[in-house]
Amino acid sequence: MIPFELTPEHFAVLGRITATFATLEHLVHYNIGFFLDSDPWIGQIVCARLGFPRAFDALVRYRTTDQEVIAALQSSLKTASDAAEARNQLVHSRWYTDFVGHAANTATRVKVGIRRGAGVQEKTETLEMTELQSIADRLEAAVYEMSSLWEKLARAGLLKGVKFLN
């Protein structure tokens, strides 16, 4: 095996993380459009320049002062933001699985960064497959949590153009 080659299992879980985050991001952008207008594409345009946590928080606070809704928003945003940060660290890293002494079913990520006053820094972290799967699970939980919140906001009449049949 080439030292930087990931196993099919690693590729599968990283793909799950990436695809689930894309779903979360789309869900937020799409529904932000219903805050601004009855056109979900408006949310895509706005969120292209604003990260979804800031845009979402500002728009909910603009539409409501209901503390229960705001608390649910903050909880969902924290879940989503934490999961997104974990995803970013994983996706924007190089990966190795064949180091000497590497335990089976682990992979090492290497992230190179440049910090003012510190120069080039390299961060290395070895993760077990269960840790990667846990991050994917957290992202999926964020999608479900955010979906529930959007439904609550829509049922409260805070999203324009969203109607329910029941």
119 bridge partner residues: 115
Q: Phi then psi for 125, rounded to 5 degrees?
A: -145, 130
Residue 73 CB-density burial (10 A; 0-12 exposed, 13-18 middle, 19+ buried):
buried
Parallel/antiparallel/unpaired status of strands 106-115 and 94-96 = antiparallel
Give 56's strand partners.
none
Give me the residue spans of the domains in the chain: 8-155
Tens-digit pLDDT string for the chain (166 aa) = 455 577 888 889 999 999 999 998 888 777 777 777 666 677 777 777 766 666 667 777 777 777 887 788 778 878 878 888 888 889 889 888 766 566 778 888 888 888 888 889 888 888 889 999 999 998 999 899 888 888 887 887 777 666 655 5
